[in-house]
Amino acid sequence: MRALAAFAMAGRRQAIIAAVLCGIIPLINMISPALVALVLLRHGPREALMVAAFAVLPLIGWASVGDMTPLILLVGVGVMAEVLRRTASWQYALLAAILVAVGAEAVLMMRPAVMDLLLQQVEAFMAAGGGSAELPEVTPETLREGVLTLFGLMHMLMAVFLLILARWWQALMYNPGGFQKEFHEFRLQPSVAMLLVGLFLLASLGGTVLTGWILYFVIPLAVAGVALVHGLVGIKRLSRLFLVAFYLLLLSPLAVQLLSVAALLDSFYDFRRRIQPPADDGSI
Confidence grade of residue 283 (pLDDT, cut at 50, 70, 90) = very low
Per-residue pLDDT, 126: 74
CA distance 153 to 252: 17
Contact status, residue 266 vs residue 192, Cβ threshold 8 Å: no
CA distance 84 to 157: 16
Amino acid at 199: L
Long-range contacts of 9-12 (CB under 8 A, 24+ apart): 9/38, 9/39, 9/42, 9/173, 12/47, 12/50, 12/51
First and final CA of the chain: distance in angstroms?
Answer: 37
Contact status, residue 186 vs residue 224, Cβ threshold 8 Å: yes
SS3 139: coil
CA distance 27 to 189: 36
CB-facing half-sphere around the CA of 170: CA atoms within 13 A:
23
Contact status, residue 66 vs residue 76, Cβ threshold 8 Å: no
- pLDDT averaged over every residue in the chain: 91
Dump pLDDT digits (tens) for 44-71: 999 999 999 999 999 999 999 889 999 9
**pLDDT average, residue stretch 124-131:** 67
Contact status, residue 149 vs residue 215, Cβ threshold 8 Å: yes
Give the number of other CB atoms < 10 A from CB of residue 185. Answer: 15
Is the pLDDT reported for residue 134 higher than 60?
A: no
CA distance 66 to 182: 37
Contact status, residue 67 vs residue 114, Cβ threshold 8 Å: no
DSSP 136: P
Give the start-to-end residue ranges of the domains of the chain: 1-175, 185-277
The crossing angle, in degrees rounded to 10, of helices 31-43 and 12-24 is 160
Positive or negative CA dihedral for 96, 101, 106, 108?
positive
Dump pLDDT digits (tens) for 74-108: 999 999 999 999 999 999 999 999 999 999 999 99
Is the pLDDT reported for residue 43 higher than 80?
A: yes
Amino acid at 33: P
Is the pLDDT reported for residue 284 higher than 50?
A: no
Confidence grade of residue 133 (pLDDT, cut at 50, 70, 90) = very low
Per-residue pLDDT, 116: 86
